[in-house]
Amino acid sequence: MLARAAAVELEGQATFFHVRPGDVMSKFYGESQRRIQALEEVIREAAPSVVFLDEVDSLLGSRDGGGVAEHHRSTTNALLAWMDGFGTGDERIFFLGATNRAEAIDEAALRRFGEAAEVGSPSLEARVALMKHLVCNKAAADGHKAEVSDDDLQVMGEKTDGFSLADVDRLVRKAFLQVLRELPELKGVGPADVPAVTLKHLEGALEASSGTSALLQMLRKRADTRSAL
């Protein structure tokens, strides 16, 4: 969600690159370094560029400790050298990163980012607004139907306390998948034939995904720890 917001804000001003671990990491020796080199060439040509490193703890995890695999160290070293290389010329390259595990990021990588900001959990209003956009506006644009009132969205907003915006996005996707599962068969079915998503589908998706929120898991773990003391 952060990547999407950044891309919208930068539209027309800079080329936006969303780099995920799977875009760089490889189990084959030397492949990660080759991918990094290829990406570097594309980013330089497209400058000014903004490079968003998603799950940066996976891309630039700590190299300390004996349990760190050698290929991980090599990839982290290559990425750090890659970031340094962009600072030696006149290129206008800006790096952003996002993580749920800041403590797992390599110290050298943290220094290269320079600034850090904590993005807290979205407010009730933000969760409701996102659900309304995804369920009503975006779904309608894609040809899907929704029969969800503002009161229904308010109920769902209250039930998703502690969810991140990404959690809310996944929740809505699951609700629409539940609608598809109700169809006897998908062959020959067009958007107009698919029933509307309702509060029932959103609540069903919530029941199936309530344990997936990283924040909720962290809060439950803390609560369990406190109760054990």
C-alpha separations of 172 from 106, 134, 141 in Å = 34, 7, 15
Six-digit token pair at 45? 């040509």
Residue 6: pLDDT over 80: no
Question: Rounded distance, CA 8 to CA 210, Å?
Answer: 29
- The gap from C-alpha 154 to its chain's centroid, in whole angstroms, comes to 24
Model confidence band, residue 67 (pLDDT cutoffs 50, 70, 90) = low
pLDDT of residue 219 exceeding 80: no
Query: How far is Cα 3 from Cα 97, in angstroms, rounded to an integer?
Result: 9
Instruction: Tell me the pLDDT tens digit for each residue of 132-191.
Output: 999 888 777 777 788 899 999 999 999 998 888 888 988 999 998 888 887 766 566 666
Q: What percent of the chain has pLDDT over 70?
A: 75
Q: Please give the domain boundaries of the chain with CATH numbers for all domains.
A: 2-113 (3.40.50.300), 124-228 (1.10.8.60)
> In the prediction, which pLDDT does 200 show?
93
Q: Residue 228 pLDDT > 90, yes or no?
A: no
Q: Which helix (H) or strand (E) holds 107?
A: helix 107-113
What is the per-residue pLDDT for 186? 56
Task: Take residue 34 and report the two structure tokens written for it.
Answer: 């080759």
